[in-house]
Amino acid sequence: MEEETNKVVIDIKNLNKSFGELKVLDGIMLQLYEKENLVVLGKSGSGKSVLIKCIVSLLKHDQGSITVGKHELTDISEEDLIKVRRKIGFLFQGAALYDSMTVRENLTFALSRLKEKFSKQEIDDKIVEALENVGLPDAIDKMPSELSGGMKKRIGLARTLVVHPEIILYDEPTTGLDPITSKEISELINETREKFNNSSIIITHDMNCVKTVADRIIMIKDGKVYKEGNLQEFINDDDAYIQSFFK
């Protein structure tokens, strides 16, 4: 990514989160810039998914601050939290489609949660456009049970894109997929950024995904930022822990 701007869209300072005696996030500092793909890398259980759930207040952090745009989340009102969440798309690890709804109904439900009200034709047009953006226009009336794992990920992304978010949070977008489909999903993350100019945080431990999408990488170990830099800086680092990911 060319450095066109240094505008910060998410600013996290000294973030702490514990579950009982277990400290999962320990003083995390992180900034996401406009139009950037930021990868958060780390082993399972390192706090990656907890981090992005805190960003949308699915989990409440214990200490520190999370600022999204002009909104700081610590004591945010419900009204302002809704405004923040409307700016953010969240692609869950398992796509999190509603099993009892068709693809069309899943995307319609996402649109129904917006403040704006659309006509039936506008809704249909937006759904078709979102499905075309992920290469699955023919899946519009399928049930989730009829979709492969890769298709579910694409539909989950379509449901995110249909509301035109400024920021997308990807939670392990390639987990459980075969190598070819994983590559397609990684490339789709890049295509989405190029088309919509959104900013993204990608949580993953899939190194092929990292190499495809990362403008910048933050590695988390034991709830702390262990290293921050671009892909080449990570590849060139002779630290044994870092190299355990890149070998």
> Residue 21: exposed, middle, or buried by beta-carbon count in 10 A (0-12, 13-18, 19+)?
exposed
CA neighbor of 166 nearest in space, from 13, 32, 29:
32
pLDDT (mean) for 209-233: 95
Give the model's confidence band at 199: pLDDT under 50 very low, under 70 low, under 90 confident, else very high. Answer: very high
Nearest-angstrom CA–CA distance, 215 and 198: 13
- pLDDT for res 95: 67
pLDDT (mean) for 13-42: 95
Please report how many Cα atoms fall inside a 13 Å half-sphere around the Cα of residue 16, on the Cβ side: 11
Nearest-angstrom CA–CA distance, 89 and 245: 28
Structure confidence by residue, pLDDT tens digits, 146-189: 998 888 888 988 888 888 899 999 988 888 888 988 898 899 89
- pLDDT for res 19: 94
- pLDDT for res 64: 95
CA neighbor of 37 nearest in space, from 158, 143, 180, 169:
169
Structure confidence by residue, pLDDT tens digits, 35-71: 999 999 988 888 898 999 999 999 999 999 999 989 9
- Give the mean pLDDT of the chain: 89
Nearest-angstrom CA–CA distance, 67 and 145: 38
- pLDDT for res 216: 97
Q: Is the pLDDT of residue 1 over 60?
A: no
- pLDDT for res 2: 46
Question: Which residue(s) pair with 8 in the sheet?
Answer: 33
* pTM above threshold 0.85: yes
- Going from the C-alpha of 164 to that of each of 110, 123, 127, the distances in angstroms are 11, 13, 12
pLDDT (mean) for 19-25: 94
Q: Which two tokens stand for residue 163?
A: 């509301």
Give the model's confidence band at 3: pLDDT under 50 very low, under 70 low, under 90 confident, else very high. Answer: very low
Tell how strand 63-68 and strand 88-91 pair up: unpaired
Q: Is the pLDDT of residue 5 over 70?
A: no
